[in-house]
Amino acid sequence: MQPLQVPRERLGLRRSAMAGLTLAVAGGLVGLGWWVLRGDGWTAWEALILLCLTANSPWIGLTAATGIIGLCLRLAAPGRADVADPAGPSTCITARTVLAVCIRLEDMDAVLPPLWPLLRDLRAMADGGDRFVLAVLSDTPDGTAADAEKTAVAHLAAAFPEGAVLYRRRSGNAGYKAGNLMDFLDDGAAEAEFLLALDADSVMSASTVRRLVLQMQADPGLAILQPTIAGHGADTSFGRVFGFGQRHGTRIWATGQAWWQGPQGPYWGHNALIRIAPFCAHARLPALPGGGVILSHDHVEAALLHAAGWAVRVLPEDAGSAERHPPDLQALFSRDLRWAAGNMQYRHLLRRADLGRIGRFQMVQAMLHYALTPLWFALLPLAAVNAATGGGEGTSRTALLLLLGGCFLALNLPKLAGYAETLWRPAGNHRWRLLGMMGREVVLGLMVDAIAAFDRTCMLARLAGGLGQGWEPQARAARGLSWGEAGRRFGAQTLAGVLLAALFASAGPFALVAALPILAGLLLAVPVVVLTARPDHSHAAVLRTAKLVDRPIRSGLAD
Protein backbone atom coordinates (compact mmCIF):
# COMPACT_ATOMS: atom_id res chain seq x y z
CA MET A 1 0.00 0.00 0.00
CA GLN A 2 1.26 3.44 -0.93
CA PRO A 3 0.92 6.32 1.53
CA LEU A 4 -1.56 9.06 0.70
CA GLN A 5 -0.19 11.76 -1.57
CA VAL A 6 -1.47 15.32 -1.01
CA PRO A 7 -0.69 18.25 -3.34
CA ARG A 8 2.10 20.14 -1.62
CA GLU A 9 1.18 23.35 -3.41
CA ARG A 10 -2.26 23.55 -1.82
CA LEU A 11 -0.97 22.74 1.65
CA GLY A 12 1.88 25.21 1.19
CA LEU A 13 -0.53 28.04 0.37
CA ARG A 14 -2.73 27.18 3.32
CA ARG A 15 0.22 27.10 5.69
CA SER A 16 1.52 30.42 4.38
CA ALA A 17 -1.91 31.96 4.91
CA MET A 18 -2.08 30.52 8.41
CA ALA A 19 1.37 31.86 9.27
CA GLY A 20 0.46 35.28 7.92
CA LEU A 21 -2.76 35.48 9.90
CA THR A 22 -1.01 34.27 13.06
CA LEU A 23 1.72 36.90 12.70
CA ALA A 24 -0.85 39.61 11.98
CA VAL A 25 -2.77 38.88 15.20
CA ALA A 26 0.42 38.49 17.25
CA GLY A 27 1.95 41.66 15.82
CA GLY A 28 -1.28 43.57 16.38
CA LEU A 29 -1.40 42.60 20.05
CA VAL A 30 2.25 43.46 20.63
CA GLY A 31 1.82 46.77 18.82
CA LEU A 32 -1.27 47.57 20.88
CA GLY A 33 0.60 46.61 24.04
CA TRP A 34 3.50 48.90 23.15
CA TRP A 35 1.10 51.79 22.44
CA VAL A 36 -0.77 51.27 25.74
CA LEU A 37 2.31 50.86 27.92
CA ARG A 38 4.47 53.67 26.60
CA GLY A 39 2.24 56.32 28.23
CA ASP A 40 4.46 59.08 29.61
CA GLY A 41 7.54 56.88 29.44
CA TRP A 42 8.66 53.40 30.28
CA THR A 43 9.13 51.81 33.67
CA ALA A 44 11.08 48.59 34.21
CA TRP A 45 7.80 46.85 35.06
CA GLU A 46 6.20 47.98 31.81
CA ALA A 47 9.16 46.73 29.81
CA LEU A 48 8.82 43.32 31.47
CA ILE A 49 5.07 43.32 30.78
CA LEU A 50 5.71 43.93 27.09
CA LEU A 51 8.37 41.21 27.05
CA CYS A 52 5.95 38.67 28.57
CA LEU A 53 3.21 39.70 26.15
CA THR A 54 5.58 39.36 23.20
CA ALA A 55 6.66 35.88 24.30
CA ASN A 56 3.02 34.75 24.45
CA SER A 57 1.88 36.52 21.28
CA PRO A 58 2.68 33.70 18.79
CA TRP A 59 0.56 31.25 20.80
CA ILE A 60 -2.25 33.79 21.12
CA GLY A 61 -2.02 34.56 17.41
CA LEU A 62 -2.15 30.88 16.49
CA THR A 63 -5.21 30.36 18.69
CA ALA A 64 -7.04 33.32 17.15
CA ALA A 65 -6.08 32.40 13.58
CA THR A 66 -7.28 28.84 14.09
CA GLY A 67 -10.59 30.13 15.42
CA ILE A 68 -11.07 32.52 12.51
CA ILE A 69 -10.32 29.91 9.86
CA GLY A 70 -12.35 27.23 11.63
CA LEU A 71 -15.43 29.45 11.87
CA CYS A 72 -15.16 30.56 8.23
CA LEU A 73 -14.92 26.96 7.06
CA ARG A 74 -17.86 25.77 9.11
CA LEU A 75 -20.10 28.64 8.05
CA ALA A 76 -19.09 28.18 4.41
CA ALA A 77 -19.81 24.45 4.50
CA PRO A 78 -23.00 24.01 6.58
CA GLY A 79 -23.99 20.42 7.20
CA ARG A 80 -20.67 19.03 6.00
CA ALA A 81 -18.71 16.84 8.36
CA ASP A 82 -15.80 16.45 5.95
CA VAL A 83 -14.51 20.00 5.91
CA ALA A 84 -11.03 18.52 6.43
CA ASP A 85 -11.23 16.92 2.93
CA PRO A 86 -11.08 13.23 3.88
CA ALA A 87 -11.50 10.67 1.12
CA GLY A 88 -15.00 9.36 0.36
CA PRO A 89 -16.00 6.17 2.19
CA SER A 90 -16.56 2.74 0.69
CA THR A 91 -19.88 0.97 1.22
CA CYS A 92 -19.18 -2.42 2.84
CA ILE A 93 -16.99 -3.38 5.78
CA THR A 94 -14.30 -5.87 4.82
CA ALA A 95 -11.56 -5.16 7.38
CA ARG A 96 -11.33 -6.94 10.73
CA THR A 97 -11.28 -4.40 13.58
CA VAL A 98 -10.39 -4.91 17.24
CA LEU A 99 -11.85 -2.48 19.79
CA ALA A 100 -9.07 -2.15 22.35
CA VAL A 101 -9.65 -0.53 25.73
CA CYS A 102 -6.63 -0.08 28.01
CA ILE A 103 -7.32 -0.16 31.76
CA ARG A 104 -5.44 -0.11 35.03
CA LEU A 105 -7.21 -0.18 38.39
CA GLU A 106 -10.44 1.11 36.85
CA ASP A 107 -14.03 0.77 38.07
CA MET A 108 -15.35 -1.93 35.75
CA ASP A 109 -18.94 -0.94 36.51
CA ALA A 110 -18.14 2.29 34.66
CA VAL A 111 -15.84 0.87 31.96
CA LEU A 112 -17.89 -2.03 30.60
CA PRO A 113 -21.48 -0.68 30.25
CA PRO A 114 -20.68 1.56 27.22
CA LEU A 115 -18.73 -1.26 25.53
CA TRP A 116 -21.60 -3.73 25.61
CA PRO A 117 -24.01 -1.74 23.35
CA LEU A 118 -21.14 -0.70 21.08
CA LEU A 119 -20.05 -4.27 20.40
CA ARG A 120 -23.67 -5.47 20.21
CA ASP A 121 -24.62 -2.85 17.60
CA LEU A 122 -21.48 -3.38 15.55
CA ARG A 123 -21.90 -7.15 15.44
CA ALA A 124 -25.58 -6.73 14.51
CA MET A 125 -24.67 -4.94 11.29
CA ALA A 126 -25.48 -6.89 8.16
CA ASP A 127 -22.28 -5.94 6.33
CA GLY A 128 -19.34 -7.27 8.29
CA GLY A 129 -20.56 -7.15 11.88
CA ASP A 130 -18.71 -10.38 12.69
CA ARG A 131 -15.46 -8.59 11.86
CA PHE A 132 -15.51 -6.65 15.16
CA VAL A 133 -14.04 -8.00 18.40
CA LEU A 134 -13.43 -6.35 21.75
CA ALA A 135 -10.14 -6.63 23.63
CA VAL A 136 -9.80 -5.50 27.26
CA LEU A 137 -6.10 -4.85 27.87
CA SER A 138 -5.27 -4.65 31.55
CA ASP A 139 -2.22 -3.42 33.43
CA THR A 140 -3.87 -3.96 36.81
CA PRO A 141 -1.42 -5.59 39.25
CA ASP A 142 -2.12 -8.98 40.84
CA GLY A 143 -4.71 -8.98 43.59
CA THR A 144 -8.41 -8.64 44.27
CA ALA A 145 -8.82 -5.82 41.76
CA ALA A 146 -7.43 -8.00 38.98
CA ASP A 147 -9.67 -10.90 40.00
CA ALA A 148 -12.77 -8.71 40.00
CA GLU A 149 -11.76 -7.25 36.66
CA LYS A 150 -11.40 -10.69 35.07
CA THR A 151 -14.79 -11.79 36.42
CA ALA A 152 -16.51 -8.68 35.08
CA VAL A 153 -15.05 -9.18 31.58
CA ALA A 154 -16.09 -12.85 31.67
CA HIS A 155 -19.69 -11.81 32.37
CA LEU A 156 -19.57 -9.46 29.38
CA ALA A 157 -18.05 -12.14 27.14
CA ALA A 158 -20.89 -14.52 28.03
CA ALA A 159 -23.32 -12.25 26.16
CA PHE A 160 -21.46 -12.68 22.86
CA PRO A 161 -20.25 -15.54 20.64
CA GLU A 162 -16.98 -17.20 21.59
CA GLY A 163 -13.97 -15.10 20.58
CA ALA A 164 -15.89 -11.82 20.38
CA VAL A 165 -14.46 -10.57 23.71
CA LEU A 166 -10.81 -10.99 24.64
CA TYR A 167 -9.11 -10.30 27.95
CA ARG A 168 -5.37 -9.86 28.35
CA ARG A 169 -3.52 -8.75 31.47
CA ARG A 170 0.15 -7.92 31.90
CA SER A 171 1.72 -8.45 35.28
CA GLY A 172 3.70 -5.23 34.90
CA ASN A 173 3.03 -1.74 33.56
CA ALA A 174 6.02 -1.27 31.24
CA GLY A 175 5.51 1.65 28.88
CA TYR A 176 2.17 2.48 30.48
CA LYS A 177 -0.77 2.59 28.05
CA ALA A 178 1.38 2.87 24.90
CA GLY A 179 3.44 -0.14 25.97
CA ASN A 180 0.31 -2.13 26.77
CA LEU A 181 -1.15 -1.46 23.33
CA MET A 182 2.06 -2.19 21.41
CA ASP A 183 2.58 -5.45 23.29
CA PHE A 184 -0.91 -6.50 22.27
CA LEU A 185 -0.27 -5.58 18.65
CA ASP A 186 3.00 -7.52 18.65
CA ASP A 187 1.09 -10.58 19.85
CA GLY A 188 -1.13 -10.54 16.77
CA ALA A 189 -4.00 -8.20 17.75
CA ALA A 190 -6.66 -10.83 17.01
CA GLU A 191 -5.42 -10.92 13.41
CA ALA A 192 -7.06 -7.54 12.73
CA GLU A 193 -6.23 -4.86 10.17
CA PHE A 194 -7.58 -1.94 12.19
CA LEU A 195 -7.63 -1.12 15.91
CA LEU A 196 -9.98 1.28 17.63
CA ALA A 197 -8.08 2.77 20.59
CA LEU A 198 -10.36 3.44 23.56
CA ASP A 199 -9.75 4.83 27.03
CA ALA A 200 -11.45 3.55 30.14
CA ASP A 201 -14.00 6.40 29.94
CA SER A 202 -14.53 6.33 26.17
CA VAL A 203 -18.03 6.13 24.74
CA MET A 204 -18.55 5.66 21.01
CA SER A 205 -21.55 4.84 18.86
CA ALA A 206 -21.61 2.01 16.34
CA SER A 207 -22.53 4.41 13.53
CA THR A 208 -19.44 6.53 14.19
CA VAL A 209 -17.14 3.50 14.37
CA ARG A 210 -18.62 2.16 11.15
CA ARG A 211 -17.99 5.47 9.44
CA LEU A 212 -14.36 5.51 10.56
CA VAL A 213 -13.79 1.97 9.34
CA LEU A 214 -15.34 2.66 5.93
CA GLN A 215 -13.30 5.84 5.65
CA MET A 216 -10.05 4.06 6.40
CA GLN A 217 -10.87 1.22 4.02
CA ALA A 218 -11.30 3.79 1.24
CA ASP A 219 -7.98 5.52 1.93
CA PRO A 220 -5.02 3.08 1.91
CA GLY A 221 -2.58 5.81 2.95
CA LEU A 222 -4.44 6.65 6.15
CA ALA A 223 -2.80 5.45 9.38
CA ILE A 224 -4.94 7.17 12.04
CA LEU A 225 -8.42 8.67 11.80
CA GLN A 226 -10.35 10.08 14.72
CA PRO A 227 -13.29 12.36 15.38
CA THR A 228 -13.20 15.09 17.98
CA ILE A 229 -14.40 14.09 21.44
CA ALA A 230 -17.32 15.49 23.42
CA GLY A 231 -17.97 15.08 27.13
CA HIS A 232 -20.57 12.75 28.60
CA GLY A 233 -21.93 11.66 31.95
CA ALA A 234 -21.10 14.93 33.72
CA ASP A 235 -22.40 14.73 37.28
CA THR A 236 -21.15 18.09 38.59
CA SER A 237 -21.81 21.63 37.44
CA PHE A 238 -18.09 22.00 36.72
CA GLY A 239 -18.13 18.96 34.43
CA ARG A 240 -21.17 20.21 32.52
CA VAL A 241 -20.01 23.79 32.08
CA PHE A 242 -16.41 22.79 31.30
CA GLY A 243 -17.62 20.23 28.75
CA PHE A 244 -19.93 22.78 27.14
CA GLY A 245 -17.08 25.18 26.41
CA GLN A 246 -14.67 22.42 25.49
CA ARG A 247 -17.03 20.94 22.93
CA HIS A 248 -17.69 24.21 21.11
CA GLY A 249 -14.05 25.24 21.10
CA THR A 250 -12.62 21.88 20.07
CA ARG A 251 -14.81 21.60 16.99
CA ILE A 252 -13.73 24.99 15.66
CA TRP A 253 -10.09 24.35 16.61
CA ALA A 254 -10.03 20.94 14.91
CA THR A 255 -11.63 22.37 11.76
CA GLY A 256 -9.12 25.21 11.45
CA GLN A 257 -6.19 22.96 12.32
CA ALA A 258 -7.18 20.27 9.81
CA TRP A 259 -7.37 22.90 7.06
CA TRP A 260 -3.67 23.72 7.18
CA GLN A 261 -2.18 20.55 8.63
CA GLY A 262 -4.00 18.31 6.16
CA PRO A 263 -2.83 14.68 6.37
CA GLN A 264 -0.31 15.58 9.09
CA GLY A 265 -2.82 16.07 11.83
CA PRO A 266 -2.57 15.33 15.56
CA TYR A 267 -3.42 12.13 17.40
CA TRP A 268 -5.07 12.33 20.81
CA GLY A 269 -4.47 8.78 21.94
CA HIS A 270 -8.04 7.45 22.14
CA ASN A 271 -11.38 7.32 20.32
CA ALA A 272 -9.25 6.82 17.21
CA LEU A 273 -9.05 4.20 14.48
CA ILE A 274 -5.53 2.94 13.74
CA ARG A 275 -4.21 0.98 10.77
CA ILE A 276 -2.17 -1.65 12.56
CA ALA A 277 0.57 -2.42 9.99
CA PRO A 278 2.08 1.09 9.66
CA PHE A 279 1.53 1.80 13.34
CA CYS A 280 3.59 -1.24 14.33
CA ALA A 281 6.22 -0.50 11.69
CA HIS A 282 6.74 3.20 12.37
CA ALA A 283 5.12 4.34 15.64
CA ARG A 284 7.30 2.59 18.21
CA LEU A 285 8.31 5.06 20.88
CA PRO A 286 12.02 5.84 21.24
CA ALA A 287 13.64 5.75 24.65
CA LEU A 288 14.38 9.03 26.38
CA PRO A 289 17.94 9.92 27.37
CA GLY A 290 18.79 7.85 30.40
CA GLY A 291 16.24 5.19 29.46
CA GLY A 292 13.11 7.03 30.61
CA VAL A 293 9.64 6.25 29.25
CA ILE A 294 7.63 8.71 27.15
CA LEU A 295 4.44 9.53 29.01
CA SER A 296 2.53 11.57 26.40
CA HIS A 297 2.84 9.08 23.57
CA ASP A 298 0.25 10.36 21.09
CA HIS A 299 2.08 13.34 19.56
CA VAL A 300 5.24 11.27 19.15
CA GLU A 301 3.39 8.45 17.40
CA ALA A 302 1.74 10.92 15.03
CA ALA A 303 5.08 12.58 14.25
CA LEU A 304 6.70 9.22 13.48
CA LEU A 305 3.87 8.32 11.10
CA HIS A 306 4.06 11.72 9.37
CA ALA A 307 7.76 11.24 8.76
CA ALA A 308 7.11 7.80 7.26
CA GLY A 309 4.62 9.29 4.79
CA TRP A 310 1.40 8.10 6.41
CA ALA A 311 -1.64 10.29 6.93
CA VAL A 312 -3.08 11.16 10.34
CA ARG A 313 -6.43 12.95 10.15
CA VAL A 314 -9.03 14.41 12.50
CA LEU A 315 -12.71 14.64 11.54
CA PRO A 316 -14.05 17.82 13.22
CA GLU A 317 -17.30 16.16 14.27
CA ASP A 318 -17.86 14.74 17.75
CA ALA A 319 -21.27 13.08 17.39
CA GLY A 320 -20.84 9.52 18.58
CA SER A 321 -17.48 10.12 20.28
CA ALA A 322 -17.21 11.07 23.93
CA GLU A 323 -15.22 10.81 27.14
CA ARG A 324 -15.72 11.90 30.74
CA HIS A 325 -14.26 15.26 31.61
CA PRO A 326 -12.72 15.84 35.07
CA PRO A 327 -15.51 16.35 37.61
CA ASP A 328 -13.83 19.21 39.47
CA LEU A 329 -10.91 21.61 39.36
CA GLN A 330 -8.71 19.47 41.56
CA ALA A 331 -9.14 16.52 39.19
CA LEU A 332 -8.49 18.80 36.20
CA PHE A 333 -5.21 20.00 37.67
CA SER A 334 -4.15 16.48 38.62
CA ARG A 335 -4.63 15.50 34.97
CA ASP A 336 -2.79 18.64 33.93
CA LEU A 337 0.20 17.59 36.02
CA ARG A 338 0.38 14.25 34.19
CA TRP A 339 0.03 15.93 30.81
CA ALA A 340 2.60 18.60 31.61
CA ALA A 341 5.09 15.97 32.77
CA GLY A 342 4.59 14.09 29.52
CA ASN A 343 4.61 17.10 27.22
CA MET A 344 7.78 18.59 28.67
CA GLN A 345 9.61 15.36 27.81
CA TYR A 346 9.32 16.30 24.14
CA ARG A 347 12.31 18.61 24.51
CA HIS A 348 14.51 15.52 24.35
CA LEU A 349 13.10 14.40 20.99
CA LEU A 350 12.91 17.48 18.81
CA ARG A 351 16.23 16.90 17.05
CA ARG A 352 15.39 13.36 15.95
CA ALA A 353 15.48 12.88 12.17
CA ASP A 354 12.69 10.28 12.26
CA LEU A 355 10.06 12.83 13.32
CA GLY A 356 8.13 14.86 10.76
CA ARG A 357 8.37 18.66 10.68
CA ILE A 358 4.69 19.24 11.43
CA GLY A 359 4.86 16.55 14.09
CA ARG A 360 7.73 18.36 15.78
CA PHE A 361 5.75 21.60 15.59
CA GLN A 362 2.81 19.89 17.31
CA MET A 363 5.16 18.72 20.03
CA VAL A 364 6.56 22.24 20.49
CA GLN A 365 2.98 23.53 20.63
CA ALA A 366 2.16 20.99 23.34
CA MET A 367 5.19 22.07 25.34
CA LEU A 368 4.42 25.78 25.02
CA HIS A 369 0.88 25.19 26.26
CA TYR A 370 2.50 24.76 29.67
CA ALA A 371 5.92 26.40 29.33
CA LEU A 372 4.53 29.86 28.51
CA THR A 373 2.14 29.88 31.48
CA PRO A 374 4.59 31.45 33.98
CA LEU A 375 5.19 34.35 31.58
CA TRP A 376 1.44 34.71 31.09
CA PHE A 377 0.69 34.67 34.80
CA ALA A 378 3.58 37.09 35.42
CA LEU A 379 1.60 39.80 33.62
CA LEU A 380 -0.70 40.04 36.66
CA PRO A 381 1.87 40.67 39.43
CA LEU A 382 3.95 42.86 37.11
CA ALA A 383 0.89 45.01 36.37
CA ALA A 384 0.02 45.13 40.08
CA VAL A 385 3.49 46.31 41.10
CA ASN A 386 3.59 48.79 38.22
CA ALA A 387 0.22 50.24 39.24
CA ALA A 388 1.15 50.38 42.93
CA THR A 389 4.37 52.26 42.17
CA GLY A 390 2.62 54.82 39.98
CA GLY A 391 3.87 53.44 36.70
CA GLY A 392 0.45 53.35 35.05
CA GLU A 393 -0.58 56.94 35.72
CA GLY A 394 -0.08 58.01 32.11
CA THR A 395 -1.84 54.99 30.62
CA SER A 396 -4.98 55.61 28.59
CA ARG A 397 -7.84 53.80 30.31
CA THR A 398 -9.66 53.22 27.04
CA ALA A 399 -6.56 51.79 25.40
CA LEU A 400 -5.90 49.54 28.40
CA LEU A 401 -9.41 48.11 28.31
CA LEU A 402 -9.01 47.59 24.55
CA LEU A 403 -5.81 45.60 25.15
CA LEU A 404 -7.40 43.46 27.85
CA GLY A 405 -10.44 42.81 25.69
CA GLY A 406 -8.28 41.99 22.67
CA CYS A 407 -6.24 39.43 24.61
CA PHE A 408 -9.39 37.80 26.00
CA LEU A 409 -11.00 37.64 22.55
CA ALA A 410 -7.91 36.20 20.84
CA LEU A 411 -7.29 33.55 23.49
CA ASN A 412 -10.92 32.42 23.53
CA LEU A 413 -11.71 32.87 19.85
CA PRO A 414 -12.16 29.16 18.98
CA LYS A 415 -14.68 28.73 21.79
CA LEU A 416 -16.46 32.01 21.07
CA ALA A 417 -16.53 31.13 17.37
CA GLY A 418 -18.13 27.82 18.29
CA TYR A 419 -20.78 29.70 20.22
CA ALA A 420 -21.36 32.00 17.25
CA GLU A 421 -21.81 29.03 14.91
CA THR A 422 -24.31 27.39 17.26
CA LEU A 423 -26.32 30.60 17.70
CA TRP A 424 -26.30 31.15 13.95
CA ARG A 425 -28.45 28.07 13.38
CA PRO A 426 -29.90 26.67 16.64
CA ALA A 427 -32.47 23.90 16.54
CA GLY A 428 -35.81 24.57 18.20
CA ASN A 429 -36.32 27.49 20.57
CA HIS A 430 -33.11 27.10 22.54
CA ARG A 431 -31.38 30.41 21.79
CA TRP A 432 -32.01 31.94 25.24
CA ARG A 433 -31.01 28.74 27.04
CA LEU A 434 -27.87 28.61 24.93
CA LEU A 435 -27.02 32.21 25.76
CA GLY A 436 -27.50 31.51 29.46
CA MET A 437 -25.21 28.48 29.36
CA MET A 438 -22.63 30.40 27.32
CA GLY A 439 -22.66 33.24 29.83
CA ARG A 440 -22.11 30.81 32.71
CA GLU A 441 -19.24 29.16 30.87
CA VAL A 442 -17.53 32.47 30.01
CA VAL A 443 -17.68 33.63 33.64
CA LEU A 444 -16.49 30.30 35.04
CA GLY A 445 -13.87 30.01 32.29
CA LEU A 446 -12.43 33.42 33.14
CA MET A 447 -12.11 32.47 36.80
CA VAL A 448 -10.67 29.04 36.02
CA ASP A 449 -8.08 30.58 33.67
CA ALA A 450 -6.64 32.66 36.49
CA ILE A 451 -6.58 29.73 38.91
CA ALA A 452 -5.03 27.50 36.24
CA ALA A 453 -2.31 30.02 35.37
CA PHE A 454 -1.23 30.14 39.02
CA ASP A 455 -1.47 26.37 39.40
CA ARG A 456 0.47 25.58 36.22
CA THR A 457 3.21 27.99 37.21
CA CYS A 458 3.62 26.11 40.49
CA MET A 459 3.30 22.82 38.62
CA LEU A 460 6.25 23.59 36.35
CA ALA A 461 8.32 24.45 39.41
CA ARG A 462 7.41 21.04 40.88
CA LEU A 463 8.35 19.25 37.68
CA ALA A 464 11.64 21.13 37.53
CA GLY A 465 12.32 19.81 41.03
CA GLY A 466 11.66 16.23 39.91
CA LEU A 467 8.19 15.92 41.49
CA GLY A 468 4.97 14.73 39.89
CA GLN A 469 6.50 12.41 37.29
CA GLY A 470 4.08 9.51 37.82
CA TRP A 471 1.07 8.46 35.77
CA GLU A 472 -1.70 7.65 38.22
CA PRO A 473 -5.29 6.70 37.30
CA GLN A 474 -7.54 9.63 36.51
CA ALA A 475 -10.40 10.75 38.77
CA ARG A 476 -13.60 10.46 36.72
CA ALA A 477 -16.61 10.39 39.07
CA ALA A 478 -17.95 13.19 41.25
CA ARG A 479 -17.07 12.93 44.91
CA GLY A 480 -17.36 16.50 46.15
CA LEU A 481 -14.69 18.53 47.94
CA SER A 482 -14.89 19.72 51.53
CA TRP A 483 -14.15 23.32 52.41
CA GLY A 484 -11.10 22.20 54.35
CA GLU A 485 -9.71 20.13 51.48
CA ALA A 486 -10.30 22.96 49.01
CA GLY A 487 -8.76 25.47 51.40
CA ARG A 488 -5.58 23.43 51.74
CA ARG A 489 -5.32 22.88 47.99
CA PHE A 490 -6.31 26.35 46.77
CA GLY A 491 -5.54 28.60 49.73
CA ALA A 492 -2.35 29.83 48.04
CA GLN A 493 -4.40 31.12 45.10
CA THR A 494 -6.67 33.02 47.47
CA LEU A 495 -3.71 34.57 49.30
CA ALA A 496 -2.15 35.60 46.00
CA GLY A 497 -5.44 37.18 44.95
CA VAL A 498 -5.71 39.18 48.17
CA LEU A 499 -2.14 40.50 47.88
CA LEU A 500 -2.57 41.44 44.22
CA ALA A 501 -5.93 43.09 44.92
CA ALA A 502 -4.29 45.21 47.64
CA LEU A 503 -1.60 46.35 45.21
CA PHE A 504 -4.13 47.30 42.55
CA ALA A 505 -6.36 49.03 45.11
CA SER A 506 -3.45 51.19 46.25
CA ALA A 507 -3.34 52.64 42.73
CA GLY A 508 -6.99 53.68 42.81
CA PRO A 509 -10.47 52.29 42.08
CA PHE A 510 -10.00 52.02 38.30
CA ALA A 511 -6.93 49.78 38.57
CA LEU A 512 -8.78 47.42 40.92
CA VAL A 513 -11.95 47.33 38.81
CA ALA A 514 -9.97 46.70 35.61
CA ALA A 515 -8.11 43.80 37.25
CA LEU A 516 -11.12 42.34 39.05
CA PRO A 517 -12.34 40.04 36.22
CA ILE A 518 -8.96 38.28 36.41
CA LEU A 519 -8.48 38.54 40.16
CA ALA A 520 -11.93 37.11 40.88
CA GLY A 521 -10.77 33.58 40.08
CA LEU A 522 -7.95 33.78 42.59
CA LEU A 523 -10.00 35.52 45.28
CA LEU A 524 -12.91 33.07 44.97
CA ALA A 525 -10.87 29.94 44.22
CA VAL A 526 -12.03 27.97 47.26
CA PRO A 527 -15.80 28.59 46.96
CA VAL A 528 -15.66 28.13 43.17
CA VAL A 529 -13.99 24.74 43.58
CA VAL A 530 -16.34 23.53 46.32
CA LEU A 531 -19.61 24.72 44.79
CA THR A 532 -18.90 23.46 41.28
CA ALA A 533 -17.69 20.05 42.52
CA ARG A 534 -20.92 19.05 44.27
CA PRO A 535 -22.27 15.77 42.88
CA ASP A 536 -25.52 15.99 40.93
CA HIS A 537 -26.75 12.51 40.12
CA SER A 538 -30.25 13.58 39.18
CA HIS A 539 -31.87 11.76 36.29
CA ALA A 540 -32.25 15.00 34.32
CA ALA A 541 -28.60 15.94 34.69
CA VAL A 542 -27.36 12.54 33.56
CA LEU A 543 -29.74 12.46 30.57
CA ARG A 544 -28.68 15.94 29.55
CA THR A 545 -25.15 14.73 28.88
CA ALA A 546 -25.84 11.10 27.94
CA LYS A 547 -27.97 12.17 24.97
CA LEU A 548 -25.02 14.02 23.46
CA VAL A 549 -23.00 10.98 22.53
CA ASP A 550 -24.55 10.52 19.09
CA ARG A 551 -25.90 14.01 18.44
CA PRO A 552 -24.37 16.85 16.39
CA ILE A 553 -23.69 20.06 18.24
CA ARG A 554 -26.09 22.12 16.12
CA SER A 555 -29.11 20.07 17.18
CA GLY A 556 -29.58 22.05 20.37
CA LEU A 557 -27.93 22.44 23.74
CA ALA A 558 -24.52 20.85 23.82
CA ASP A 559 -24.61 20.13 27.52
Give the model confidence (pLDDT) of 406-435 as tens digits.
999 999 999 999 999 988 876 556 778 889
Strand arrangement of the beta sheet that strand 272-275 belongs to = 165-169, 132-138, 97-103, 194-198, 272-275, 222-227, 311-315
Alpha-carbon distance of 21 to 62, in angstroms, equals: 8
Predicted confidence at residue 57, as pLDDT, reads 96
For 143-155, the DSSP string reads SHHHHHHHHHHHH
- In DSSP terms, 134 is beta-bridged to 99, 165
With 0-12 / 13-18 / 19 or more C-beta atoms within 10 angstroms meaning exposed / middle / buried, residue 272 is buried
Predicted confidence at residue 171, as pLDDT, reads 81
Alpha-carbon distance of 335 to 515, in angstroms, equals: 29
pTM of the model: 0.90
CA atoms within 13 A on the CB side of 149: 24
Domain spans, the chain: 8-78+370-555
Predicted confidence at residue 488, as pLDDT, reads 94
Alpha-carbon distance of 37 to 45, in angstroms, equals: 10
User: pLDDT under 50 in the chain at which residues?
Assistant: 1-6, 81-87, 539-550, 553-559
Nearest Cα neighbor of 414 from 454, 368, 453, 445 is 445
Alpha-carbon distance of 449 to 518, in angstroms, equals: 8
**Contact 367/320 with Cβ under 8 angstroms?**
no
CA-based end-to-end distance of the chain: 42
Predicted confidence at residue 470, as pLDDT, reads 55
